[in-house]
Amino acid sequence: MIEYPEEAGYSIGGDLDVKYYMIQIHSNNPNQISSIQYNSCWIIKIFNSILDITDSSGVRFYISNQLRQYDIGYLTFGTDIRSTSLAIPPNVQNFIVDSYCPRNATTNIPQSGITVISAFPHAHLQGRSISTKIIRNKKVVQYLFNGDPFNFDYQLTYRLTEPIQLYF
Protein backbone atom coordinates (compact mmCIF):
# COMPACT_ATOMS: atom_id res chain seq x y z
CA MET A 1 0.00 0.00 0.00
CA ILE A 2 1.29 3.44 -0.86
CA GLU A 3 0.39 6.03 1.71
CA TYR A 4 1.74 9.55 1.37
CA PRO A 5 2.90 11.64 4.31
CA GLU A 6 0.28 14.07 5.64
CA GLU A 7 2.18 17.08 4.26
CA ALA A 8 2.48 15.69 0.71
CA GLY A 9 0.14 14.84 -2.14
CA TYR A 10 0.07 13.89 -5.79
CA SER A 11 -1.29 16.79 -7.82
CA ILE A 12 -4.13 16.08 -10.25
CA GLY A 13 -6.34 18.44 -12.22
CA GLY A 14 -5.64 22.16 -12.21
CA ASP A 15 -3.70 23.45 -15.20
CA LEU A 16 -2.59 19.98 -16.27
CA ASP A 17 -3.67 18.70 -19.67
CA VAL A 18 -4.27 15.23 -18.23
CA LYS A 19 -7.77 14.03 -18.99
CA TYR A 20 -7.47 10.35 -18.04
CA TYR A 21 -5.58 8.19 -15.59
CA MET A 22 -4.94 4.50 -16.14
CA ILE A 23 -4.43 1.70 -13.68
CA GLN A 24 -2.76 -1.58 -14.52
CA ILE A 25 -3.23 -4.52 -12.19
CA HIS A 26 -1.17 -7.71 -12.43
CA SER A 27 -2.70 -10.65 -10.57
CA ASN A 28 -0.95 -13.86 -9.63
CA ASN A 29 -3.20 -16.91 -9.53
CA PRO A 30 -0.84 -19.86 -8.85
CA ASN A 31 -3.70 -22.21 -7.88
CA GLN A 32 -5.55 -21.46 -11.16
CA ILE A 33 -8.76 -20.49 -9.34
CA SER A 34 -11.38 -19.81 -11.99
CA SER A 35 -13.99 -17.89 -9.97
CA ILE A 36 -12.52 -14.38 -9.78
CA GLN A 37 -14.90 -11.56 -8.94
CA TYR A 38 -14.08 -7.87 -9.51
CA ASN A 39 -16.15 -5.36 -7.59
CA SER A 40 -16.70 -1.65 -8.17
CA CYS A 41 -14.05 -0.57 -5.63
CA TRP A 42 -11.22 -2.09 -7.67
CA ILE A 43 -10.90 -4.72 -4.98
CA ILE A 44 -10.22 -8.12 -6.44
CA LYS A 45 -11.91 -10.92 -4.53
CA ILE A 46 -11.08 -14.51 -5.21
CA PHE A 47 -13.47 -17.07 -3.81
CA ASN A 48 -13.06 -20.81 -3.76
CA SER A 49 -15.17 -23.17 -1.67
CA ILE A 50 -12.10 -25.14 -0.61
CA LEU A 51 -9.50 -22.38 -0.19
CA ASP A 52 -11.80 -19.42 0.64
CA ILE A 53 -9.20 -16.86 -0.43
CA THR A 54 -9.74 -13.11 -0.47
CA ASP A 55 -7.18 -10.94 -2.25
CA SER A 56 -7.41 -7.37 -0.97
CA SER A 57 -5.44 -5.79 -3.81
CA GLY A 58 -6.88 -2.48 -4.85
CA VAL A 59 -6.73 1.24 -5.12
CA ARG A 60 -8.32 3.96 -3.05
CA PHE A 61 -7.98 7.66 -3.84
CA TYR A 62 -8.47 10.44 -1.32
CA ILE A 63 -9.00 13.72 -3.16
CA SER A 64 -8.84 17.15 -1.54
CA ASN A 65 -8.97 20.71 -2.80
CA GLN A 66 -6.44 21.75 -0.14
CA LEU A 67 -2.95 21.78 -1.60
CA ARG A 68 -0.24 20.05 0.39
CA GLN A 69 3.10 21.61 1.25
CA TYR A 70 4.98 19.13 -0.95
CA ASP A 71 4.19 17.50 -4.29
CA ILE A 72 4.75 13.78 -4.71
CA GLY A 73 6.53 12.76 -7.90
CA TYR A 74 8.26 9.72 -9.30
CA LEU A 75 11.91 9.43 -10.21
CA THR A 76 12.24 6.42 -12.47
CA PHE A 77 15.57 5.03 -13.52
CA GLY A 78 16.81 1.74 -14.82
CA THR A 79 18.61 0.03 -17.61
CA ASP A 80 19.43 1.29 -21.06
CA ILE A 81 16.49 0.68 -23.37
CA ARG A 82 18.64 -0.91 -26.08
CA SER A 83 17.89 -4.61 -26.36
CA THR A 84 21.56 -5.56 -25.89
CA SER A 85 21.65 -4.05 -22.40
CA LEU A 86 19.53 -6.91 -21.07
CA ALA A 87 20.88 -9.77 -23.16
CA ILE A 88 21.49 -12.69 -20.83
CA PRO A 89 24.93 -14.17 -21.52
CA PRO A 90 24.95 -17.91 -22.32
CA ASN A 91 25.95 -20.48 -19.69
CA VAL A 92 25.91 -18.20 -16.63
CA GLN A 93 24.14 -18.64 -13.31
CA ASN A 94 24.02 -14.93 -12.51
CA PHE A 95 25.02 -11.68 -14.11
CA ILE A 96 24.79 -8.05 -13.10
CA VAL A 97 23.10 -5.22 -14.96
CA ASP A 98 24.28 -1.82 -13.75
CA SER A 99 22.41 1.37 -14.48
CA TYR A 100 23.22 4.91 -13.50
CA CYS A 101 21.28 8.12 -13.26
CA PRO A 102 23.28 10.50 -15.49
CA ARG A 103 23.62 14.16 -14.54
CA ASN A 104 21.64 15.39 -17.56
CA ALA A 105 18.62 13.37 -16.33
CA THR A 106 18.45 15.50 -13.20
CA THR A 107 18.52 19.00 -14.71
CA ASN A 108 14.91 19.76 -13.70
CA ILE A 109 15.37 18.72 -10.08
CA PRO A 110 15.55 21.77 -7.79
CA GLN A 111 18.82 22.77 -6.08
CA SER A 112 17.15 21.99 -2.75
CA GLY A 113 17.03 18.34 -3.83
CA ILE A 114 14.27 15.80 -3.45
CA THR A 115 13.09 13.71 -0.53
CA VAL A 116 12.76 10.00 -1.23
CA ILE A 117 10.11 8.24 0.87
CA SER A 118 9.73 4.87 -0.87
CA ALA A 119 11.14 2.50 -3.46
CA PHE A 120 9.40 0.29 -6.01
CA PRO A 121 11.82 -2.24 -7.47
CA HIS A 122 10.81 -3.90 -10.73
CA ALA A 123 12.69 -6.53 -12.74
CA HIS A 124 10.21 -8.70 -14.64
CA LEU A 125 10.49 -12.48 -14.34
CA GLN A 126 14.24 -12.80 -14.88
CA GLY A 127 15.18 -10.53 -11.97
CA ARG A 128 16.51 -12.30 -8.88
CA SER A 129 17.92 -9.41 -6.85
CA ILE A 130 17.64 -5.61 -7.01
CA SER A 131 19.53 -2.95 -5.13
CA THR A 132 19.65 0.80 -5.48
CA LYS A 133 22.71 2.56 -4.10
CA ILE A 134 23.52 6.21 -3.66
CA ILE A 135 27.08 6.67 -4.93
CA ARG A 136 29.20 9.79 -4.49
CA ASN A 137 32.79 10.07 -5.70
CA LYS A 138 32.76 6.38 -6.68
CA LYS A 139 31.87 5.27 -3.13
CA VAL A 140 28.59 3.81 -1.89
CA VAL A 141 27.11 6.33 0.53
CA GLN A 142 23.92 4.48 1.33
CA TYR A 143 21.54 1.81 0.03
CA LEU A 144 18.18 3.21 -0.96
CA PHE A 145 16.85 -0.31 -1.43
CA ASN A 146 18.38 -3.77 -1.20
CA GLY A 147 16.01 -6.51 -2.33
CA ASP A 148 17.65 -9.90 -2.28
CA PRO A 149 15.92 -12.05 -3.22
CA PHE A 150 13.52 -10.31 -5.60
CA ASN A 151 10.26 -12.13 -6.29
CA PHE A 152 8.24 -10.98 -9.31
CA ASP A 153 5.04 -12.36 -7.76
CA TYR A 154 5.32 -10.05 -4.74
CA GLN A 155 5.99 -6.59 -6.13
CA LEU A 156 5.60 -4.07 -3.36
CA THR A 157 6.31 -0.43 -2.73
CA TYR A 158 8.71 -0.27 0.20
CA ARG A 159 8.34 2.71 2.51
CA LEU A 160 11.75 3.81 3.77
CA THR A 161 12.26 3.82 7.54
CA GLU A 162 13.54 7.38 7.28
CA PRO A 163 13.19 9.72 4.27
CA ILE A 164 16.40 10.27 2.31
CA GLN A 165 17.33 13.68 0.91
CA LEU A 166 19.00 13.52 -2.52
CA TYR A 167 20.92 16.39 -4.08
CA PHE A 168 22.00 16.40 -7.69
The answer to whether residue 96 is domain-embedded is yes
Specify if 16 maps to a domain.
no
User: In whole angstroms, what is the distance from residue 47 CA to residue 32 CA?
Assistant: 12
Q: Is residue 28 part of a domain?
A: no
Q: Which candidate, 10, 50, 44, 11, places its Cα nearest to that of 29?
A: 44
99 located within any domain: yes
Please give the pLDDT value at position 8: 92
With beta carbons less than 8 A apart as the criterion, state whether 52 and 35 touch: no
Half-sphere exposure of 114 (CA within 13 A, CB side): 14
Predicted TM-score of the model (pTM): 0.68
Chain mean pLDDT for the chain: 76
Give the pLDDT of residue 40.
Answer: 43
Res 86: pLDDT: 67
At 28-59, the pLDDT tens digits run 667 776 655 544 444 444 444 445 555 566 67
For the ranges 42-46, 80-84, 96-100, 114-118, the one whose mean pLDDT is highest? 114-118
Q: Is residue 51 part of a domain?
A: no
**Whose CA is closest to 159, among 114, 117, 101?**
117
The answer to whether the beta carbons of residues 21 and 31 sit under 8 Å apart is no
Question: Cα 129 to chain center, whole Å?
Answer: 15
In a domain, 116, yes or no: yes
Residue 155 structural domain: 72-168
Q: Is residue 30 part of a domain?
A: no
Select the highest-mean-pLDDT range: 30-34, 40-44, 64-68, 94-98: 64-68
In this prediction, residue 139 carries a pLDDT of 92
Considering its fold, how many domains does the chain have in total? 1
147 Cβ partners below 8 Å, 6+ apart? 121, 129, 130, 131, 158
Check residue 150 and give its pLDDT: 85
Q: Mean of the pLDDT values across residues 72-76?
A: 83
Q: Is the residue at 34 inside a domain?
A: no
